[in-house]
Amino acid sequence: MTAPDGEAALAEFRRGQPDLLLLDVKMPRMTGFEVCRHIKGDADTRLVPVILITALTATEDRLAGIEAGADDFLTKPVDRGATAGASAVVAQAEGLHRRARARGICPVCVGSQHRREGSVYRRTL
């Protein structure tokens, strides 16, 4: 799916709930940073991998992306091999989270002693 601006990207994301999101940082109406913050700030969507695509190279811009919750960055011009590699790594992590959730393990704390009790994760002793 594609969108002409950040607001449309967020709306399309909410409609389609893709497994991976590639966001241009410089979008009209809402930046990729802002869209990422919305997605990562929602408990239902925070585990969806977000890769930011940017021509920005300053450390401050990378930090802004990390603070927004981005999982990875690609620098323009984007190399198809880099896109495929980053997407594969992030998709593999998402697969691990899905399997953890299916087994009742806390998807945020994979490997810890949290177990699902209904819709809540509790620490087991």
Residue 46 tokens read as: 């925070």
Q: What are the percentages of helix, strand and coil residues in the chain, rounded to 5?
A: 40, 20, 40
Q: 103, 72 in Cβ contact below 8 A?
A: no
Predicted pLDDT of residue 110? 47
Give the tens place of pLDDT for each residue, 36-81: 999 999 888 888 888 888 887 778 888 888 889 888 887 777 666 6
Instruction: For the full predicted model, state whether its pTM sits above 0.85.
Output: no
Q: What is the mean pLDDT of the chain?
A: 76
| Rounded Cα gap, residues 38 and 115, in angstroms | 27
| Radius of gyration, CA atoms only, the chain | 16
Using pLDDT thresholds of 50, 70 and 90, give the confidence band for residue 91. low
- Outline where the chain has alpha helix (H): 6-16, 32-40, 59-68, 80-102
Q: Does domain 6-123 have CATH number 1.10.760.10?
A: no
Domain positions in the chain are 6-123
β-pairing, 50-54 vs 72-75, is: parallel
Using pLDDT thresholds of 50, 70 and 90, give the confidence band for residue 122. low
